[in-house]
Amino acid sequence: MKLATLNDGSRDGRLLLVSRDLSQALDASAIAPTLQAALDDWTRLEAALQPLYRRLNAGDAAGAFPLCAEDLLAPLPRAWQWLDGSCFLSHGALMQKAFNLDPIDGAERIPLMYQGAGDDFLGPRADIALPSEAHGIDFEGEFAVLLDEVPMGCPADQALAHVRLVLQLNDVSLRALAPREMLTGFGFLQAKPSSSFAPVAVTPDELGEAWRDGRVHLPLNVAWNGAWFGHPHGGAMHFGFHQLIAHAAMTRRLSAGTLIGSGTVSNADRSVGSACIAERRAIEIIAHGEARTGFMRFGDRVRMEALGLDGQPLFGAIEQRVVQGGWPCA
């Protein structure tokens, strides 16, 4: 199934079913008013949603209407818990080499993960409003999974049974603010503003063979101001999502609606480009002794999209503009 959230003026929006080709949508709020409600009672409500999804794809669903990404919120506009990993070790290795950082002990055995702010996710066409260009505005292309309830101590070999939906996101980062926050040992706060999500969340079966080993085996196409920036492949995750789930659930239960991210998609093959500016800058520092690419400016645009193995739309595209915002600018 493919699901989205209509911006109906409420904080959590209204649940939509979306056709496989992303052309049509159907109000599903009579079954589950919101995506969170669907996740809270997934087994029962999925059984009710599936027949409607089949009718929508067959062109036989009364009330279907054209899908417009501008009318959508993030698939899950706010999450009980947002946990982001750093699972592409080639990205970390680049940062260490470019900035002479000490390697993180056990990084190849234990996933890196921080708890982010899940209270204000942005939709696929929403402006990214930030207070200052001096903060080093960067995009980060990632994949993520949405879970139902996960018991404490869930082992990795059982964890994928709790993955209900797969998503694609732009985890916006403010690079000038990150170094101090990392040194404190308390994790990110100011350096991680609201993340943005592609229009549609999809059940793992929609990915077909691209979903295996707890990884999204697809390239993520990233463009900055209309120019190609990279298409790194999601299959290069060192840790799969099953391992991330087990890591997060080691000492606590994860509630339904917990969202877990992969971290910036990155490949050791530099010819595929990057999914964030910081990585390109690190490559430049290593090659030339200095970074030659600046961070984003107000008015800049970023586009991200991962297509299915058949070349057809899967999650839909993130297309956003960076603007100045916040008090007293708003």
At 157-177, the pLDDT tens digits run 999 999 999 999 999 999 988
Residue 206's pLDDT is 98
Give the closest residue to 127 by CA, choosing from 327, 277, 318, 329. Answer: 318
Residue 181 has pLDDT above 80, yes or no: no
Is a pLDDT exceeding 70 seen at residue 329? Answer: no
**Which of 166, 196, 192, 172 is CA-nearest to residue 77?**
196
pLDDT reading at 189 higher than 90: no
Bridge partners, 15 (sequence order):
5
Please give the pLDDT value at position 102: 79
Report the candidate in 214, 100, 128 with the shortest Cα–Cα distance to residue 166. 214
> What would the mean pLDDT of 9-18 be, rounded to a whole number?
98
Mean pLDDT of the chain: 95
Max Cα–Cα distance, the chain, nearest Å: 61
Give the three-state DSSP class for 159.
helix
Domain residue ranges in the chain? 2-70, 76-324
pTM for the predicted model, two decimal places: 0.95
Q: How far apart are CA 75 and CA 60, in angstroms?
A: 24
Beta-carbon contacts of residue 203 (< 8 Å; ≥ 6 apart):
1, 2, 164, 165, 166
Q: Residue 330's pLDDT is what?
A: 46
Give the list of residues 6+ apart from residue 253 with CB closer than 8 angstroms, or none: 149, 150, 151, 152
The Cβ of residue 179 has, within 10 Å, a number of other Cβ atoms equal to 11
Over residues 73-97, the pLDDT tens digits come to 999 999 999 999 999 988 888 888 8
Q: Has residue 132 got a pLDDT over 90?
A: yes
More confident site: 272 or 177: 272
Q: Token pair of 191, please? A: 């350096």
Ramachandran quadrant class, 326 (left: phi over 0; alpha: psi -120 to 50; beta: rest) = left
What pLDDT band is residue 186 in, cutting at 50, 70 and 90?
confident
Superfamily of domain 76-324: Fumarylacetoacetase-like, C-terminal domain (3.90.850.10)
Q: What is the pLDDT confidence band of residue 328, given thresholds at 50, 70 and 90?
A: low
Tell me the C-alpha distance between 45 and 103, whole Å.
46
